[in-house]
Chain A
Amino acid sequence: MKFVNYTMIAAVALALCACNTYPTFSPDANTMMVPVRVMNTGKYLLCQNGKRFNLPLKEEANNVSSVQVPVGEVIGLAVYTEQSTVFSVSYCTSGVNFKPVENQAYVMNNGFFENKCFAELVKQDKSKDTGVSLEPSATPYSCQP
C-alpha cells in the first residue's frame, strides 16, 4: 500500500515537472531575431505554430536580461513562474501573442496584481522619455496550432 502511495506521489511530481519541459528554441541560421528585454525573472517560453519552446535568458550588464524571438509571424511569448509558501506551491503562466518585426526591440514585464499573474509587452521607442510605445499586434496569450 505504501509502495502505491509513494509511486503515486512520484508520478504526480513527475507529471508536474514534465509540464514545463520543452525543447530549447533553436532557430535556423537565416532566421531574423529581435530582442525582448524582460523586466522580471521566470522561465520564458516561446509558442510558435502551437509548439512550445524554452527560450534561454541572456544576461547583460546592469542586470538587464533579454530573450531573442523570431520575426515575421505571430508568436506567443510567455513566462512561467512558480510560487511556493510553507503551505502550498502554485504555478502561473502569463504571456502575450504578438508579431515581432525586423529592427524592433520590445520590452516585457510580468508580475502579480492582487493574486493573479499578468504579462504585458510594449515596443521600445527611443523617441519617448518613457522609452516605450504600445505594440499594436499584442493580444492575450494563447498557444494554438
Chain B
Amino acid sequence: MHKLCLLLASSVLLSACATSYQSDGITGGYYEIPGPGQLDKVAFSGNGLIKPSSVQNYALYRAAELAKSKNKPYFIIYRTLVDAARNNPGNLPLVGWMQGKPVAYSFVLYLDESRPGALTTATVLADMAKVVGGTPAADGQGVMK
C-alpha cells in the first residue's frame, strides 16, 4: 500500500509540470539524430502540459547550443528534408503532435560563415536564454537517439 502511494505520488508529481528544457527523459526533452549529410535532426518532445510554442523555442535553442559546441557561429534550420534539398531555410522548427504531446524538430546545418537564411548562434542563445530559463549556451552535451 505504501509503495502504491509512493508510485501514485511520483506519477502525479511527474505529470504536474510542463517539460522543462532538458535532455530527453521520462517527461520528454531534446535529442538529436545525425545526418543526412552534415545535417542533424534536432528535436524536442514535450509532455501534455507544455505549449507548442515552447517546444518550438526549446528545439531552436538546442540547435544553437549544438552549433556553439561545434564552434559554428551560424546555422540554418530546414523544417523538412524537401526544404533542405531545395535550400529553403526556415525560422522555427516544425511542430506536430504525437501521442497527444507536442514535438518540434528541424534539420540543422552548422556553418562557419553566414548565408542567406542563416541564424546567428550567439544571437539565438542570447534571445532564447530567458525562454528556456537557463544560462545561455550550456555544455552542448546531448542525447543521441
Instruction: Mark A residues whose CB is within 8 Å of B.
Output: 37, 39, 62-64, 83-87, 107, 109, 111-116, 120-122, 124-126, 128-134
Contacts and interface: CB of A to CB of B under 8 A. Distances in A.
A67 B17 CA distance: 38
Given A64-B34, A83-B98, A132-B36, A112 B41 contact: no
Interface residues of B, number: 29
A136 B132 CA distance: 40
Given A63-B144, A124-B36, A126-B37, A132 B81 contact: yes
B99 A107 contact: no
Interface of B: 33-39, 41, 78, 80-82, 84-87, 94-100, 103, 105, 107, 109, 144-145
A37 B109 CA distance: 18
A39 B98 contact: no
- The listed residue with most B CB atoms (<10 A of its CB), out of A86, A120, A124, is A120
Contacts of A85: 99-100
Given A130-B109, A131-B36, 7 more contacts: A63-B33, A114-B97, A121-B81, A122-B81, A130-B84, A131-B38, A132-B81
